[in-house]
């Protein structure tokens, strides 16, 4: 099999979001052991003008959702952005994984030269599918996934590179 627009997007999103769920499980266990409310993490930030933990997860999920939806020309599920607990954030991530998995590979493959419209505050941006995936969607997704991981590590949750990457063999 040759690499394709689907093979380099959906499975990457699904795998990393699955890894992220295991970090949140570990955060819950850690909070339980240390006897603090795990949901205090939701407002954690690495800098006062960076987005908080809950938003990092929301955007990571949205990057995956919009990544495949835009390439496939599919309707993305809507979320209210009102998750108030780790449990609710996990539910959102799970629903996002289900959506990403529901989009047929054939609907994403061949989208290299498709015009992808990205709405922005200051007017929309149009990128070709391949540029969108390689230089916007994947980097943006990994940004928010890694920032989520960094916030957990910064707050004392014990995670390592194996948790980040997931088991490979």
Q: Does 107 bind its own copies (CB under 8 A)?
A: no
3-class state of residue 117 by DSSP: strand
Q: Which stretch binds its own copies (CB under 8 A): 23-31, 83-91, 97-105, 141-149?
A: 141-149
Q: Which stretch binds its own copies (CB under 8 A): 29-37, 75-83, 90-98, 148-156?
A: 148-156
Closest distance of CB 155 from its own copies, Å: 8
Helix, strand, coil shares, percent, the chain, to 5:
60, 5, 35
Euclidean distance between CA atoms 116 and 27, whole angstroms: 36
Kindly report the number of other CB atoms within 10 A of residue 97's CB atom: 21
Q: Does 79 bind its own copies (CB under 8 A)?
A: no
Q: How many CA atoms lie within 13 A of 147 on its CB side?
A: 23
Binding site for its own copies (CB under 8 A): 1-5, 7-8, 11-12, 15-16, 46-47, 50, 112-113, 125-127, 130-131, 133-136, 138-140, 142-143, 146-147, 149-150, 153-154, 156, 161, 164-166, 168-169
């Amino acid at each position: 099999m040759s690499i394709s627009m689907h093979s380099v997007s959906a499975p990457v999103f699904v795998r990393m979001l699955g890894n992220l769920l295991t970090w949140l499980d570990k955060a819950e266990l850690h909070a339980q052991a240390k006897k603090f409310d795990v949901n205090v993490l939701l407002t954690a930030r690495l800098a006062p003008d960076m987005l908080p933990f809950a938003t990092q997860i929301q955007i990571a999920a949205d990057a995956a959702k919009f990544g495949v939806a835009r390439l496939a020309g599919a309707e993305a599920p809507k979320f209210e952005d009102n998750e108030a607990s780790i449990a609710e954030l996990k539910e959102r991530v799970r629903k996002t994984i289900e959506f990403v998995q529901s989009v047929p590979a054939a609907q994403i493959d061949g989208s290299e030269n498709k015009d992808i419209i990205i709405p922005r505050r200051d007017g929309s941006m149009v990128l070709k599918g391949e540029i969108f995936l390689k230089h916007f969607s994947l980097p943006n997704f990994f940004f928010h996934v890694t920032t989520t991981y960094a916030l957990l590590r910064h707050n004392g949750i014990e995670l390592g590179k194996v948790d980040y990457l997931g088991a490979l063999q």
